[in-house]
Structure 1
Amino acid sequence: MSIQWKGVMPAVTTKFTENDALDFEMFSVNIKAQLNAGVHGIVLGGTLGEASTLLNEEKRELTKFTVDFVKDSVPVLINIAEQSTKAAINAAQKAEEDGAKGLMMLPPMRYKSGDRETVEYFKTVANSTSLPIMVYNNPVDYKVEVTLDMFDELLKCNNIEAVKESTRDISNVTRIKNRFGDRLKIMTGVDTLGLESLLMGADGWIAGLVCAFPEETVAIYELQKAGRIQEALEIYRWFLPLLELDINPKLVQNIKLAEVATGIGTEIVRAPRLILEGEERKHVLAVIAKGLRTRPTLPNYKNL
């Protein structure tokens, strides 16, 4: 297994300039903060990365830049969210050329594929690349569920190794462990179920608010892993109002505002998204401000 599916892997935001170009200067600031906090991987071009607005060449630029920046300190993954199998194969092959160490893959976009079609889609792409694949299972937002029976078939592909578990059903972690043991690694993908999923046996956390609060997120993971559950729980309880900003249609705008507040991002989004305003903005800023006022002092989690 070329990727250790464990720990905290931020689904990082994509930074833009006022002229709607990729902002690699601020992107570097954020990635450096993630690495300093001790994250275990970087996921590019997901929902938080505004994948649907990125041009193919921009995704390649992001991948190449990040691979060069992290210098093998952690694996870099790129998300594949395409409308056709042909486009997904092309994206997988370009990602491999550009130095990505793994893929996060959604079912086909726009067309709601049936079970057989979904399985065939994942298998065909998996057979076109040597990169390890994490299947992103998010039926709440993307309307296609990858069931355990479907995973039985998918796991015939050796490079399908992990699932980003975002069904919102916490018992699914146990179902997966009971069915597949360590053959299918579990990365929880729902911030508000982060600690619960880890305690139930998830191997890691593809996180959102980590973009603004990397140290707190990694501390929760490391503390629970070391058996210091009460300390992890205290941080998590403080964190929850902020984590709820991720479970929202405006999660990109919310988290980018949080990045501004912690000094490691800007709030610039790409159209059709618009920055928050009015009461919506006031509410998000109030949640962030309270979190900053009550921000906990972290233990030395890096040496556990």
Structure 2
Amino acid sequence: MHVPVRWEGVYPALLTPFTADDQLDLPLFEANLRAQLDAGMHGFIIGGSLGEASTLEPDEKIALLKSALAVCDGKVPVLLNIAEQSTKQAIKRAQEAEANGADGLMVLPPMRYPADARETVAFFTAVAEATSLPIMIYNNPYDYKIMTTVAMFEELAKYDNIQAVKESTRDLTNITRMRNAFGDRFKLLGGVDTLALEAILLGCDGWVGGLVDAFPQETMAIYDLAKAGQVSEALDIYRWFMPLLELDIHPKLVQYIKLAATATGIGSEHVRAPRLPLIGTEREQVLNVINSALAKRPVLV
């Protein structure tokens, strides 16, 4: 029985912990997941960019999915990310996710090929027609070089299971464009940590977070305060959080956020090659950001 996906609230893009010998560290994955649940998360995304999707084997993604479903036990929805090079593989991964109990999908445009508008719409359409699961489209032209425009969403709006957008264009105006064009037809979730509060105040329904993997309670506090209209209180925490949130917009966001999660006791530094753990001056600089924030960590009411 699938858990309904409301597309509201905070959805961590979960890290994928590894052991020192490059196996999935499911006990640590589950410990992080429980810390997120304890903080009140509204849903989870497995195998995203932050989850090192490009290096995971299909069976590893399913293992993570099953682990998360067991821990969540129907309390909140669990989504699997679909990021593939071919339409055929994207369809296969989506159908495997549905068969193994996923509650929804986040779908990226084609990987490694800069598809044009017609091709991108055809790709999303093919996935939507191949599954009954609700879908959130990840709109991130900054990193993936494909912009899903308002005109493209007009074509996709006829598919009932395409329900939400992870808004990562880094153009806050696009939130208003989408609202003006579609009203509430698509749920919008801010996907850039350094623009998260702004996105919520401009009308986003939720936040797909990165630093939430290390700081779940602070992330939830910002979201809850902003939605309650307590903007000044949210802003106080957000300003404290910003040096940490900036770790999310670096090419080494995986290493940086894993280091932060290690510092807060719910992660490890192990990554999968070609990524390598941080060393030397770079590691010291990131640790300084993390430790400086920890020294001034706000007391949440």
TM-score, reference length from structure 1: 0.97
State how 1:126-165 maps to structure 2 within 5 Å: 126-165=128-167
1:263 corresponding residue in structure 2:
265
Whole-Å separation in 2 of the counterparts to 1:258 and 1:105:
27
1:57 aligns with 2:59: yes
Partner amino acid for 1:180?
F
Cα distance, 1:28 vs structure 2: 1.0
Q: CA deviation at 1:227?
A: 1.0
Partner of 1:82: 84
Number of the residue aligned with 1:93: 95
Q: Counterpart amino acid of 1:28?
A: E
RMSD: 0.8
Instruction: Assess if the C-alpha contact under 8 Å between 2:30 and 2:67 holds in 1.
Output: no
Q: For residue 21 of structure 2, what is the amino acid of its counterpart?
A: N
CA drift of 1:224 comes to 0.8
2:221 to 200, 213, 219: 219
Q: CA shift at 1:64, angstroms?
A: 1.1
Residue number in structure 1 paired with 2:104: 102
In structure 1, distance between residues paired with 2:29 and 2:114: 33
Structure 1 alignment gaps of length 5 or more: 300-304
Question: How many angstroms apart in 1 are the aligned matches of 2:251 and 2:280?
Answer: 16
CA distance in structure 2 between the aligned counterparts of 1:275 and 1:27, rounded to whole angstroms? 18
SS for the counterpart of 1:195 is helix
- Residue in 1 that maps onto 2:300: 298
- Cα drift, residue 279 of structure 1: 1.4
Secondary structure at 1:104's aligned position in 2?
strand
2:130 aligns to what SS in structure 1? coil
The one-letter code sitting in structure 2 at the alignment partner of 1:291 is A
Aligned to 1:36: 38
Q: Which runs of 5+ in 2 are unaligned?
A: none
Determine the structure 2 residue equivalent to 1:47: 49
Separation in 1, partners of 2:8, 2:240: 23
Q: Which residue of 1 aligns with 2:277?
A: 275
Taking the TM superposition and a 5 Å limit, the aligned residue runs for 1:177-192 are 177-192=179-194
In 2, Cα distance between equivalents of 1:25 and 1:63:
14
Q: What is the distance in 1 between the residues matched to 2:129 and 2:168?
A: 24
Give CA deviations for 1:252-290 in whole Å, capped at 9, x if unaligned: 000000001100010100000000111111110000000
SS of match in other structure, 1:245: helix
Identity value in percent: 61
Distance 1:264 1:218 in 2: 17
Residue 211 of structure 2 corresponds to which residue in structure 1?
A: 209
Q: Equivalents in 1 of 2:64, 2:41: separation in Å? A: 18
Distance of 2:4 and 2:203 partners within structure 1: 21
Aligned to 2:199: 197
Q: Which amino acid aligns with 1:46?
A: G
SS in 2 for 1:276: coil
- Whether 1:237 aligns to 2:242 is no
Among 232, 246, 249, which residue is 1:247 paired with? 249
Q: Distance in 2 between matches of 1:233 and 1:134?
A: 28
In 1, the alpha carbon distance for the partners of 2:289 and 2:67 equals 33
Work out the CA distance in 1 between the residues paired with 2:4 and 2:34.
23
Deviation at 1:139, TM superposition (A): 0.3
User: 1:86-114 CA distances to partner (integer Å, 9 max, x unpaired)?
Assistant: 10111000000111100000000111111
Cα distance in 2, alignment partners of residues 244 and 250 from structure 1:
11
Whole-angstrom CA distance in 2 between matches of 1:42 and 1:98: 16
Cα contact 2:82–2:108 (8 A) shared by 1: yes
Could you list the per-position Cα deviations for residues 129-183 of structure 1 after superposition, in whole angstroms to 9, with x for gaps in the alignment? 0000000000000000000000000111110000000000011111111111110
Distance 1:227 1:113 in 2: 40
1:302 is aligned to none
The 2-side partners of 1:181 and 1:119 are apart by 21
Return the TM-score normalized by structure 2: 0.98
* Contact preservation (8 Å) 2:107, 2:137: yes
Question: How much does 1:2 deviate?
Answer: 3.0
